Amino acid sequence: MSTDRASSSDRRTRSWIEVRADALRRNFRRVRAGAGAGVGVIPMAKADAYGMGVDRMVSTLEPEQPLAWGVAAVEEGRRIRELGVERPVLVFAPLPPGSYRDAVEADLTVCLSSLEGLRLLDEAVARSGKSACFHVEIDTGMGRSGFDWREAASWGPVIATRHRPALRWTGCFTHFHSAADDPATMTVQWERLVDVLSSVAHPKEDFLVHAQNSAGAMRAGALEARGYRVGAVRPGIFLYGGSAGAGTPDPEPVAAVRARVVHIREASPGTTLGYGATYASRGRERWGTLAIGYGDGLPRALGNRGHALIGGHLVPIIGRVSMDMTVVNLSDIVGVEAGDVATLIGESGSDRITVDEVAGQVGTISYEILTGFTPRLPRIWVDDGS
């Protein structure tokens, strides 16, 4: 079998993630087209751009003119600023008490979930001598953060009185809890948000209302049909090649996880394999050891369950996945040699294994698979320029 050999200086010597910048760009454009004219796009770059590498992700999408960037931590927002980004960077998760000053210093837009957070932000602004912007999260059913939509009469007036040139209230948002599984819930949550906005005094100019994650963004028509329009959508997993839910368009695959075959052996009948000896050869078999394991983020639960692609052929993973090695059964294909490339996620020949398929095999979601790959796997970005 032909082999894509790697030199000692090549980052593809062992195992790696190949990230397609062109596919990321096209997924972004599909979200923007689906959102409609006048609706901004806030790409989520949290968790190191879902494990793909935030530096290259930002350099790929910044020329596409996103409305803003979304992160979960001040440190993530600061990194985007260090990359030279000047447009707004929203920190969506509630901040630890000691992080407000850092957020103000980095010119990050803080998303508030409590009056205590507002007090700490106000204090940080006063101490720094700088101005700041904030958005208010409305909890319409997600439950993990945000102001309770049913209690707007108590917190709304307090927030309104804090709005001033040095501390500007520039947006309001909610988060859909079941857009991927039960789209009808989007309408319920959106109506709760509208109720809050109609009852609370808030700025009328330069005020952004947003709600839709990937699943919501790819179903924007469901809200538009009821006359609802948002100012921005916040895509995450769809950008990186993960499904936004049943009934939504498939994204282009962005990440491919590949590993070298580093050892081949002929196994006689009854030969056991791996920790716990959970697999034994049923006859004479040919096994290939791949240089990847759960220490790289490959789910251990793929043992005796998952597959890899080698030369366009699907081969089963046998035995338990180890920290550094995974074994596949090569008995049904010929010509595989040490140094050949196996694909655990991505395309090989005319076949592919999607990140959602892998997630389904181990009972989790594509988000966890992508963000779970460790720094030991080099992220190698490729771009065809489209």
Is the per-residue pLDDT at 226 higher than 60?
A: no
Which phi and psi (to 5°) does residue 117 adopt?
-60, -40
Domain check: are 229 and 267 in the same one? Answer: no
Query: What pLDDT sits at residue 181?
Result: 82
Residue 60 forms part of a structural domain: yes
Active site residue 279: no
Indicate whether 7 belongs to any domain: no
The enclosing domain of 327 has a CATH number of 2.40.37.10
pLDDT at 385 over 80: yes
The answer to whether 133 and 111 are in contact (CB under 8 A) is no
Pick 354 or 219 by higher pLDDT.
354
Number of domains forming the structure of the chain: 2
Based on the domain organization, do 288 and 171 belong to the same domain? no
Biggest CA-to-CA distance, the chain: 78
* Pair 215, 266 in one domain: no
What does pLDDT average to over the chain? Answer: 94
Distances (CA, A) of 246 to 26, 179, 215, 369: 20, 10, 9, 19
Residue with tokens 């989520």: 44
Residue 281 in domain: yes
Query: Does residue 274 fall inside a structural domain?
Result: yes
Judge if 131 and 68 occupy the same domain. Answer: yes
The rounded distance, in Å, linking the Cα atoms of 187 and 165 is 34
Assign 198 a pLDDT band (cuts: 50, 70, 90).
very high
pLDDT, tens digit (0-9, with 9 covering 90-100), for 342-358:
999 999 989 999 999 99
Q: What is the DSSP letter of 164?
A: B
Q: Give yes or no: residues 32 and 156 share one domain.
A: yes
Residues spanned by the domain of 323: 253-382
Q: Which residue has the tokens 């901004």?
A: 40
Domain boundary among 215, 240, 265: 240
Q: Which of 219, 240, 261 is the endpoint of a domain?
A: 240
φ/ψ bin of 73: left (φ > 0), alpha (ψ from -120 to 50), beta (otherwise): beta
260 in the same domain as 202: no
Task: Single out the residue of 88, 144, 141 nearest to residue 113, CA to CA.
Answer: 144
Q: Tell whether 232 and 375 lie within a shared domain.
A: no
Specify if 8 maps to a domain.
no
What was the pLDDT predicted at 44? 98
Do residues 77 and 183 both lie within one domain?
Answer: yes
The values of phi and psi at residue 15, to 5°, are -150, 155
**99 SS3 class:** helix
Is there a domain that residue 84 lies in?
Answer: yes
DSSP lists the bridge partners of residue 272 as 280
Domain containing residue 25: CATH number: 3.20.20.10
Please name which of 144, 76, 66, 64 lies closest in space to residue 108, comparing C-alpha atoms.
Answer: 76
CB count in 10 Å sphere of residue 113: 21
The total number of residues written for the chain in this structure: 386
Find out whether 54 and 78 touch, Cβ atoms under 8 Å: no
Residue 114, pLDDT > 80, answer yes
In sequence order, which residues have a C-beta less than 8 Å from that of residue 324 and are 6 or more positions away?
A: 291, 292, 293, 295, 296
CB 239 within 8 A of CB 251: yes
| Catalytic residue selected from 46, 100, 279, 367 | 46
Q: Are residues 300 and 222 both part of a single domain?
A: no
Q: Which of 100, 228, 275, 367 is catalytic?
A: 275
Tokens of 347: 């395309």
Query: Residue type for 93, please?
Result: A
Classified as helix, coil or strand, 85 is coil
| Structure token pair of residue 311 | 């030369």
Asked whether residue 85 falls in the same domain as residue 222, the answer is yes
Domain for residue 29, yes or no? yes
The one-letter code for the residue type at 250 is: D
User: Computed from CA positions of residues 347, 351, 355, 361, in that sequence, does the dihedral angle turn out positive or negative?
Assistant: negative
Q: How confident is the model over 268-320, as pLDDT tens digits?
A: 999 999 999 999 999 999 999 999 999 999 999 999 999 999 999 999 999 99
Question: What pLDDT does residue 220 have?
Answer: 60
- The number of beta carbons lying within 10 Å of the beta carbon of residue 52 is 26
Q: Can you tell me the distance from the alpha carbon of 58 to that of 80, in angstroms, rounded to the nearest whole number? A: 8
Active site residue 275: yes
105 and 218 fall within a common domain = yes
User: What pTM did the predictor assign?
Assistant: 0.93
Q: Do residues 213 and 149 both lie within one domain?
A: yes
Q: Which two three-digit tokens encode residue 91?
A: 């920190």
Whether 98 is in a domain gets the answer yes
Domain boundary (211, 240, 269) is at 240
